[in-house]
Amino acid sequence: MSDTSDLTVLVIETPTLGDRSYLVHDSEVAFVVDPQRDIDRVLALLDEHGVRLSHVLETHLHNDYVTGGLALAERTGAAYLVNAADDVVFDRTPVRDGETLALSERMRITALATPGHTHTHLSYALADARTGEQVAVFSGGSLLHGATGRPDLLGPEHTHDLARAQHASAHRLAALLPDDAEVFPTHGFGSFCSATQSQATASTIGHERTANPVLTQDEETWVTELLDGLGAYPAYYAHMAPANAAGPSEPDLSAPAQAEPDELRRRIEAGEWVVDLRNRTVFAAGHVPGSLNFGLDGGFATYLGWLVEWGTPITLLGESADDVAEAQRELVRIGIDRPAAAATGSPEDWVAGTGTGLGSFATATFADLVQVRHHRDVVVLDVRRTEEHAASRIDGAVNIPLHELPRRLAEVPAGEVWVHCAGGYRASVAASFLAAGGRPLVAVDDGFDNAGEAGLPLVDAAA
């Protein structure tokens, strides 16, 4: 929670996607900025604080999640503010650059055109209506904490122009707002919508003015460095803006149908995804053969959405109904509305009566890899992103980024595969694909920082 004057800003975190939404109120009236699809979280906060929602504000048509804005506005009767220039098919309250709205006797917002992340991006400056003091800005994917939103999500033909627009937009906010105005971005907390990552959780215009490269570097330097540093982003992003322009409905979070073991086997054999939500350690020890491991303890929705062929039926395997419900909530945020089925319990339950035993594979550390390489040749598969591999890598390792692995499995060299990433999560996802393909493997469950310390020969970018 943040107190801006006597206005209250409640932060609604979605750490698995690296985003924030905001509920702002003056003890009577509230507005919400960039709500996620699962609007029950917002409704609960409104009830908890005893405030009435008057407006829902969108900074842009999001590329990394499906909005709950329209559904929230329809549920509460709030006005839904969307840029007048956005091509949408639903009724909204169109808002334009420079337009000021009094949301209550105490709150006034001004829409500011800040293109760069998208062509029609808006930021919203919040003023105390009694004093006129500009106290905060809700900057969406424009000015972030120590960074900006990335400008390449609309296609390479727009990237350079949007990068230059992003630089200009950040400078516009810095020029219009006082140093003590708080900065509340939507992206930048792990989201791939952020051009770079920062550990900051709070900031002001004054701090950004001295610390954010977009405000300390000249345009040419900043644009060049920004574009040189951009890496891959999740494939599911391509589906988000069209979904948001169509006006997403409120999600159905009711429990999916329960699948029996025979049905799970049929779904796997049909090429559907049966997704095990458990952590990587227990998955490696025993799992349904052919199932895929996207644990809830990591970037579940980001990586599942990145790797899955859109429209593939997904069945969820969880230790409890709560695990399945958590996964459903994560998936609706990226537009995967209903699982095909689910099953709860243990892997023994999920194969019972099918005549199929459990699959398993070994896990190890980088120190173990050092010892093994003294005795036999193994394939070292690095599933980190290309830029991570280029920065520092194990000498001789094969790099196939995780998001490319499902379609490049045939490129993994023959032999025993030791698969690693930066911390273990992506390696386990990759291992589940390799195991489903019948490959002998070991999943390295270790931090990459330990690779050099263990004695593995590393090649870095300077070499």
Q: According to the model, what pLDDT value does residue 193 have?
A: 80
Q: According to the model, what pLDDT value does residue 379 have?
A: 98
| Among the listed residues 214, 99, 208, the one whose alpha carbon sits nearest the alpha carbon of residue 168 | 214
Res 1 pLDDT > 60: no
Question: Which residues have a Cβ under 8 Å from the Cβ of 250 and sit 6 or more positions away?
Answer: 39, 68, 71, 74, 75
Which superfamily does CATH assign the domain made up of 2-246 to? Ribonuclease Z/Hydroxyacylglutathione hydrolase-like (3.60.15.10)
pLDDT digits (tens, 9 = 90+) for 38-65: 999 999 999 999 999 999 999 999 999 9
| Among the listed residues 93, 72, 70, 74, the one whose alpha carbon sits nearest the alpha carbon of residue 244 | 70
* 2-246 against 261-351: fold identical: no
Q: What is the mean pLDDT of residues 273-296?
A: 98
Q: What rounded mean pLDDT belongs to the chain?
A: 96
Q: How far apart are CA 303 and CA 292, in angstroms?
A: 12
Q: How far apart are CA 206 and CA 412, in angstroms?
A: 50
First to last CA, the chain: 46
* CA atoms within 13 Å, Cβ hemisphere of 237: 16
Buried b (16+ CB within 10 A) or exposed e, 84-121: eebebeeebeebeeeeebebbebbbbbbbbbbbbbbbb
pLDDT class for 283, splitting at 50, 70, 90?
Answer: very high
Q: According to the model, what pLDDT value does residue 178 have?
A: 98
| Among the listed residues 4, 187, 13, the one whose alpha carbon sits nearest the alpha carbon of residue 108 | 4
Question: Which residues have a Cβ under 8 Å from the Cβ of 220 and sit 6 or more positions away?
Answer: none
DSSP symbols for 380-400: EEE-S-HHHHHHEEETT-EE-
Annotated active-site residue 421? The verdict is: yes
Q: How far apart are CA 106 and CA 134, in angstroms?
A: 12
Contact status, residue 415 vs residue 378, Cβ threshold 8 Å: yes
The fold for domain 261-351 equals: Oxidized Rhodanese; domain 1 (3.40.250)
DSSP symbols for 325-341: HHHHHHHHTTT----SE
137, 369, 421, 451: which one is catalytic?
A: 421
**For the chain, domain boundaries:** 2-246, 261-351, 362-460
Question: Which residues have a Cβ under 8 Å from the Cβ of 188 and sit 6 or more positions away?
Answer: 18, 144, 145, 146, 147, 149, 194, 197, 198
Class of domain 362-460: alpha beta
pLDDT class for 5, splitting at 50, 70, 90?
Answer: low
Res 421 pLDDT > 60: yes
Backbone angles phi, psi at 441, to 5 degrees: -155, 165
Res 198 pLDDT > 80: no
Res 212 pLDDT > 60: yes
pLDDT class for 463, splitting at 50, 70, 90?
Answer: low
pLDDT class for 98, splitting at 50, 70, 90?
Answer: very high
Percentage of residues in the chain having pLDDT higher than 90: 95
Res 84 pLDDT > 70: yes
pLDDT class for 6, splitting at 50, 70, 90?
Answer: confident
